[in-house]
Amino acid sequence: MSTTAPKLPKQVRVISLSHRMSRWDLKLSPYLYISPFFLMFAVVGLFPIAYTAVISFMDWDLVRNTGTFIGFDQYVWILQQPHFWTALRNTFSIFLLSTIPQLLLALFIAAMLDRNLRAKTFWRMGVLLPFVVAPVAVGLIFNVVFADNFGLVNGTLTDLGLTPIPWHKDPFWSHIAIATMVNYRWTGYNTLILLAAMQAVNREYYEAATVDGAGLIRQFTSITLPSLKPTLIFVIITSTIGGLQIFDEPRVFDQFGRGGAGQQWLTITLYLYDIGWGQWNFGRAAAMAWILFIIILSIGLINLAITRSLVRDDGGRGIPKIKKNRKKVAR
């Protein structure tokens, strides 16, 4: 006769209310901490964007704050305007004349500041000073520099017996002047971003490259540039967005702010501002804003693809070879 031990009753685990609250706190508290940002973004960001999309398909009445749905008529009207294509051409011209030299110059200055210089903090602060200057002040300063009759540049050219440059009459020279204003303000900002990324690169790579006999240029192309891939993508994308949305510099380039008598430096944002607040047609202005968004998104994706193809890996190119050579030197 076999005997078995009696089974003990299972103990029921009782979860107290405080324990449940602590578990909920661990799960929900991270979302509660970040919720103010997303709530604020939804109110001041997503809602205006969605509201603009709705208005772009309507013939909006500003008095009654109502509109009649007309579909894509606003977009068709904008694309049929000669001023839009002039503004688009001017925007791309100023964008190319400002962004490309700006990034190359910022990369060069960052590489110089990354060297062992005296008074590093002074030079880095000096590079950022133009970014602190207000756009209106920049416009007033450069209006004196690029004035047609009494400007600093034309005055110097006249003293040298050369022909003055028509800064406010010729489209190309007006784009050069505005691009100079943009580069003055934003080159230092991009320089410090690139400099921070350069200082994050492991210095052992440069030491190994020096032992292998690599010069400064070879170190820059084989170590620095590949390591800057994420930062370069960020800088290029932000410069593209800012360059295609340029407004302050063309607006203050003369006293009227209409893009010139012959639309020499009329940009898309200036044209959008004129339609919205000059012609009081917010439906067409909203449609133009979305057209500008599509253009910026397309150019941004193209820049992203080009940047990834130029720098294929995050600092990997040239580094394995350096490590291999270091082992040979150690032996």
- Cβ density class 118-134: b for 16+ within 10 Å, e for less: eeeeeebeebeebeeee
Mean pLDDT for 9-15 is 54
Render 125-141 in DSSP notation, one character per residue: HHHHHHHHS-HHHHHHH
Residues 98-138 pLDDT 10s: 999 999 999 999 988 888 777 778 888 888 888 888 888 88
Amino acid symbol at 165: I
Residues 170-185 pLDDT 10s: 999 999 999 999 999 8
Amino acid symbol at 281: N
Which pLDDT does position 331 carry in this prediction? 45
Domains of the chain: 17-55 (no CATH), 73-330 (1.10.3720.10)
Which one, of 229, 222, 238, 184, lies nearest residue 319 by Cα? Answer: 222
Residue 229 pLDDT > 70: yes
How far is residue 143 from each of residues 19, 252, 261, measured CA to CA in Å?
Answer: 68, 8, 16
